[in-house]
Amino acid sequence: MAPSKQELLRRVAQLVPDLAPDKYKGQAGKIAVVGGCREYTGAPFFASMAALKVGWVIHGLCCVDEGMLFQCCCCNGSLSGADAGGIAAFGEANIPHPYSCPPPPPLSPASQIGADISHVFCTEGAATVIKGYSPELIVHPYLPDSSQQGGEDQAQEQARQQAVQAIEPWLDRFDAVVIGPGLGRDPLILSTVAEVMRAVRRRSLPMVVDADGLWLVNQDPSLVAGKLHMALCILHVHRYFNAVLTPNKVEFGRLADKLGVAVDSPDVLQSICRSLDGPVVVRKGKEDAVGDGRQVVVCDEEGSPRRAGGQGDVLSGCIAAYAAWAQRAAGASREQLHEGGGSGDAPPGLPPLVVAAYAGCLTTRRASQRAFVRQRRSMGATDLLAELGAVADELAEQGSA
């Protein structure tokens, strides 16, 4: 029997870590995003920033244009930079609020704890742009681009090997990896990322796969399958169960076709999970359905009617952050993240990785609904980032009530 909404909230709340003065940088999670090319730099930014911001509450004023116009984050009222004294926060400037909205609530112990560190592995053509978006991201321009390597097979193979050798040592530092945002379809980039995915598998790292990463999975489902080959299973070769796939309607249909599953069958989600024998699959839509081949948990939280680009990338980053937290909160090793109940305080039947995927869906939906209330038709993915921390804080409080 599927758990109730309150029980799901309780399990989500168990994942959110508290702040403590004796903690050090990295204990709340280190996330890597593999994606970003010359054409697509926004997607990896949204995924990596979501992992950081899912635990941050933003209050006060923020600059909304070059003319130093500041906007209140709780009521959207605006005043000029001259009125604000050039300071982007009421608390720092000690400026009386010019509008009638209530003051921000005090922060709870869990309200400022997203993933501590977020890295982006992208092409050289994307790196400078992404670095310019935020100084909080650590950006590695390691992915090779065919346009810069020429058409010779030997040169491209050498570039691929060098890229994998540069990226792989970093993987040991991370708690979760996001694959796909902004990768594009360059064959050299994709073949390099396929090797990175195999390296992630060998480490049993949680791996959230979205966008062009899903296109890569369609070409080679073994990248996320629980077993690489039946013969290997007989030989007891290491199996992998920590992938989370996040397809939209079109991507889900392609995946079903690839696996020979009827997309209109009532059990299509579970059939896909069983065919791959391993990953958690999040079927995005009017409702988000999270399946693992054994059970399905549905997130029907009201979201936003505005479907802005980048919302799926925000979801991927949120799931990665919760997956990182699950390894600590659930008392589960990486090998136990997909086990029913795992260990620690997790109840039987609902693996920590399924809870993490559900938590990401719930957080993103609630943040998008709030962002839409504020921005209406002008809402974009950047507006979601500003809402993530307050939502995570609220979920932690509701779940522990």
**Token pair of 387 as six digits:** 């809402």
The reply to whether 303 sits in an annotated binding site is yes
The reply to whether 287 sits in an annotated binding site is yes
The reply to whether 254 sits in an annotated binding site is yes
The reply to whether 313 sits in an annotated binding site is yes
The reply to whether 64 sits in an annotated binding site is no
The reply to whether 343 sits in an annotated binding site is no
The β-bridge relationship of strands 78-80 and 30-34 is unpaired
| Contact (Cβ atoms closer than 8 angstroms) between residue 254 and residue 245 | no
| Contact (Cβ atoms closer than 8 angstroms) between residue 210 and residue 34 | no
Residue with tokens 């620690």: 344
The reply to whether 145 sits in an annotated binding site is no
The reply to whether 307 sits in an annotated binding site is yes
The reply to whether 184 sits in an annotated binding site is no
| Contact (Cβ atoms closer than 8 angstroms) between residue 244 and residue 353 | yes
| Contact (Cβ atoms closer than 8 angstroms) between residue 349 and residue 387 | no
The reply to whether 148 sits in an annotated binding site is no
Query: 23: which residues sit within 8 A by CB, 6+ positions away?
Result: none
The reply to whether 250 sits in an annotated binding site is yes
| Contact (Cβ atoms closer than 8 angstroms) between residue 209 and residue 179 | yes
**Among candidate residues 125, 139, 123, the one with its CA nearest the CA of residue 45:** 139
The reply to whether 30 sits in an annotated binding site is no
**Among candidate residues 38, 41, 50, 34, the one with its CA nearest the CA of residue 382:** 50
The reply to whether 288 sits in an annotated binding site is yes
The reply to whether 340 sits in an annotated binding site is no
The reply to whether 213 sits in an annotated binding site is no
The reply to whether 249 sits in an annotated binding site is yes
The reply to whether 252 sits in an annotated binding site is yes
**Among candidate residues 171, 114, 175, the one with its CA nearest the CA of residue 352:** 175
As a whole number of angstroms, the distance between CA 103 and CA 355 comes to 33
The reply to whether 306 sits in an annotated binding site is yes
Please enumerate, by residue number, every residue annotated as part of a binding site for (6S)-NADPHX.
Answer: 182, 248-254, 313
Please enumerate, by residue number, every residue annotated as part of a binding site for ATP.
Answer: 284-288, 303-312
Please enumerate, by residue number, every residue annotated as part of a binding site.
Answer: 182, 248-254, 284-288, 303-313
